[in-house]
Structure 1
Amino acid sequence: MIVLDQENKIFTLHTQNTTYQMKVDQYHVLEHIYYGARIDNCDLSGLIKCGERSFSPNPDEAGRNRDYSLDVMPQEYSTCGVGDFRLPSIELELPGGSHTADLRYEGFHLEKGKYKLEGLPGFHGMENEAETLVVLLKDSAARIAVEMYYGVFEDFDLITRAIRLVNEGTETIRVCRCASLCLDFTRSDLDLITFNGHHLMERCLDRGPVRPGIQSVGSVRGISSHQHNPFVMICDHDADEDRGMCYGAMLLYSGNFEAAVECSQYENSRLVMGIHPYHFCWTLEPAGTFTAPETAMVCSPDGFGQMSRQYHKAIRKHLLRDPYQYERKPVLVNNWEATYFDFDADKLVDIAREAADLGIELFVMDDGWFGSRNDDNSGLGDWQVNREKLPGGLEALVPCVKDLGMKFGIWMEPEMVNEDSDLYRAHPDWILRVPGRAPSRGRGQLVLDFSRKDVRDHIYDQMKAVLGSADISYIKWDMNRSLTDVWSAGLPAGRQGEVYHRYVLGVYDLLERLHCDYPYILIEGCCGGGGRFDGGMLYYTPQIWCSDDTDAIDRLRIQYGTSFCYPVCTMEAHVSAVPNEQNGRFTPLETRGITAMSGAFGYEMDLGKCTEEEKRKIRRQVETYKKHYNLIHDGDYYRLSSPLQDSSYTAWEQVSAGQKEALVNVVMGCTHSAPPFRTLRLKGLNPSFQYQVDGIGETYSGGELMKAGYPLPQIRGDYPAFQVYLKAVG
Structure 2
Amino acid sequence: MGVIVQEQAGLFHLQSSGMSYLIQIVDGYPVHGYWGERLKHRETMGDLLIHTPARAGLDRLPQEYPQYGSGDFRNPAYQAELEDGTRITELKYDGYRILKGKPPLSGLPAVYTEDESEAETLELVLKDAYSGLKVVLLYSIFTARNVIIRSARLINEGDKKLRLRRALSASVDFSGHSDLEMVYLSGAWAREGNMKRRPLEQGETRIDSKRGMSSHQFNPFASLVTPETTERHGEAFGFSLVYSGGFEAGAEVDSFGSTRFSIGMNSFDFAWQLNPGESFQTPEAVMVYSAQGLGEMSRTYHRLYRTRLCRGKYRDEERPILVNNWEATYFDFNADKLVSIAEEGAKLGIELFVLDDGWFGKRDADNSSLGDWYEDRRKLPDGLADVAERINRLGLKFGLWFEPEMISPDSELYRKHPDWCLHVPGRRRSEARWQLVLDYTRQEVRDYIYDSLSAIFSTVPVAYVKWDMNRALTEIGSAALPPERQAETAHRYVLGLYELLERITTDFPHILFESCSSGGGRFDPGMLYYMPQTWTSDNTDAVERLKIQYGTSLVYPVSAIGAHVSAVPNHQVGRITPLDFRGNVAMSGNFGYELDLTKFTDDEKETVKRQVAAYKQIRGLVQQGDLYRLKSPFEGNESAWMFVSEDQRAALVYAFQVMAVPNAPQRTLRLDGLDPELEYEVEPGTGGEISIFGGDRLMQLGLPLAYEHKDYQSRWFRLRALKPGKA
Which TM-score tier does this pair reach, normalised by the shorter chain?
Answer: over 0.9
1:593 corresponds to 2:577: no
Describe the shift of the 1:132–1:496 C-alpha distance in structure 2 as closer, same or farther (beyond 3 A). Answer: same
- The separation in 1 between residues aligned to 2:429 and 2:126, in whole angstroms, is 43
1:363 corresponds to 2:364: no
Counterparts of 1:452-463 in structure 2 under 5 Å? 452-463=442-453
- Assess if the C-alpha contact under 8 Å between 2:315 and 2:532 holds in 1: no
1:702 corresponds to 2:695: yes
1:302 corresponds to 2:292: yes
- Assess if the C-alpha contact under 8 Å between 1:217 and 1:259 holds in 2: yes
Aligned partner of 1:603: which letter? Y
Q: 1:143 aligns with which of 104, 127, 132?
A: 132
- Assess if the C-alpha contact under 8 Å between 1:33 and 1:45 holds in 2: no
Q: 2:618: which partner in 1?
A: 628
Q: 2:680 aligns with which of 677, 688, 691?
A: 691
1:488 corresponds to 2:478: yes
For residues 61-87 of structure 1, give each alpha carbon's deviation from its aligned partner in whole angstroms, at most 9, with x where no partner exists.
x4xxxxx22111111111121111111
Aligned partner of 2:557: which letter? P
Q: 2:76: which partner in 1?
A: 88
- Assess if the C-alpha contact under 8 Å between 1:29 and 1:105 holds in 2: yes
Aligned partner of 1:704: which letter? R
- Assess if the C-alpha contact under 8 Å between 1:33 and 1:44 holds in 2: no
1:667 corresponds to 2:667: no
- Displacement after TM superposition at 1:104 (Å): 0.8
- Assess if the C-alpha contact under 8 Å between 2:707 and 2:714 holds in 1: no
1:602 corresponds to 2:592: yes
- Displacement after TM superposition at 1:722 (Å): 1.3
1:241 corresponds to 2:266: no
- Displacement after TM superposition at 1:49 (Å): 6.3
- Displacement after TM superposition at 1:687 (Å): 1.2
**Unaligned regions of 5+ residues in structure 1, if any?**
52-57, 63-67
Q: 2:104: which partner in 1?
A: 116
Aligned partner of 1:454: which letter? E
Q: 1:258 aligns with which of 245, 248, 251?
A: 248
| SS of corresponding position for 1:353 | helix
- The separation in 2 between residues aligned to 1:349 and 1:153, in whole angstroms, is 49
- The separation in 2 between residues aligned to 1:418 and 1:267, in whole angstroms, is 52
Counterparts of 1:269-418 in structure 2 under 5 Å? 269-418=259-408
- Displacement after TM superposition at 1:327 (Å): 2.6
- Displacement after TM superposition at 1:514 (Å): 0.9
Aligned partner of 2:401: which letter? W
- Assess if the C-alpha contact under 8 Å between 1:431 and 1:446 holds in 2: yes
Q: 1:545 aligns with which of 522, 531, 535?
A: 535
Q: 2:409: which partner in 1?
A: 419
Q: 2:563 aligns with which of 569, 573, 582?
A: 573
- Displacement after TM superposition at 1:50 (Å): 5.1
Q: Number of paired residues? A: 715
Q: 2:419: which partner in 1?
A: 429
- The separation in 1 between residues aligned to 2:47 and 2:437, in whole angstroms, is 54
- Assess if the C-alpha contact under 8 Å between 1:380 and 1:418 holds in 2: yes
- The separation in 2 between residues aligned to 1:608 and 1:468, in whole angstroms, is 31
Aligned partner of 2:32: which letter? H
- Displacement after TM superposition at 1:395 (Å): 2.1
- The separation in 2 between residues aligned to 1:45 and 1:559, in whole angstroms, is 45
- Displacement after TM superposition at 1:7 (Å): 2.3
- The separation in 2 between residues aligned to 1:610 and 1:706, in whole angstroms, is 40
- Assess if the C-alpha contact under 8 Å between 1:635 and 1:656 holds in 2: yes
- Displacement after TM superposition at 1:44 (Å): 4.7
| SS of corresponding position for 2:307 | helix
Q: 1:718: which partner in 2?
A: 711
Q: Percent identity?
A: 47
- Assess if the C-alpha contact under 8 Å between 2:707 and 2:713 holds in 1: no
- Displacement after TM superposition at 1:474 (Å): 0.7
- Displacement after TM superposition at 1:123 (Å): 0.2
- The separation in 2 between residues aligned to 1:93 and 1:367, in whole angstroms, is 46
- Displacement after TM superposition at 1:713 (Å): 1.4
TM superposition outliers: structure 1 runs of 4+ over 6 Å:
none
- Assess if the C-alpha contact under 8 Å between 1:333 and 1:362 holds in 2: yes
Q: 1:54: which partner in 2?
A: none
- Assess if the C-alpha contact under 8 Å between 1:33 and 1:47 holds in 2: no
Q: What do you get for the CA RMSD once the two structures are aligned?
A: 1.2
Aligned partner of 2:89: which letter? A
1:178 corresponds to 2:178: no
Q: 1:65: which partner in 2?
A: none
- Displacement after TM superposition at 1:708 (Å): 0.8
| SS of corresponding position for 1:694 | strand
- Assess if the C-alpha contact under 8 Å between 1:398 and 1:408 holds in 2: yes
Q: 1:682 aligns with which of 651, 671, 677?
A: 671
- Assess if the C-alpha contact under 8 Å between 2:652 and 2:719 holds in 1: yes
For residues 118-168 of structure 1, give each alpha carbon's deviation from its aligned partner in whole angstroms, at most 9, with x where no partner exists.
110110003122221111111111111101111111222111011111100
- Displacement after TM superposition at 1:100 (Å): 1.6
Aligned partner of 1:676: which letter? P
- The separation in 2 between residues aligned to 1:523 and 1:264, in whole angstroms, is 45
Q: 2:39: which partner in 1?
A: 39
Aligned partner of 1:110: which letter? I
- The separation in 1 between residues aligned to 2:404 and 2:283, in whole angstroms, is 23
- Displacement after TM superposition at 1:585 (Å): 0.6
| SS of corresponding position for 1:371 | coil
Counterparts of 1:18-33 in structure 2 under 5 Å? 18-25=19-26, 27-33=27-33
- The separation in 2 between residues aligned to 1:506 and 1:2, in whole angstroms, is 34
- Report the TM-score when normalising by structure 2: 0.97
| SS of corresponding position for 2:248 | strand
Q: 1:442: which partner in 2?
A: 432
Aligned partner of 1:458: which letter? Y
- Report the TM-score when normalising by structure 1: 0.96
- Displacement after TM superposition at 1:398 (Å): 1.1
For residues 179-221 of structure 1, give each alpha carbon's deviation from its aligned partner in whole angstroms, at most 9, with x where no partner exists.
0010110022100111100000012111011110111000001
**Unaligned regions of 5+ residues in structure 2, if any?**
none
- The separation in 1 between residues aligned to 2:48 and 2:552, in whole angstroms, is 35
Q: 2:8: which partner in 1?
A: 7
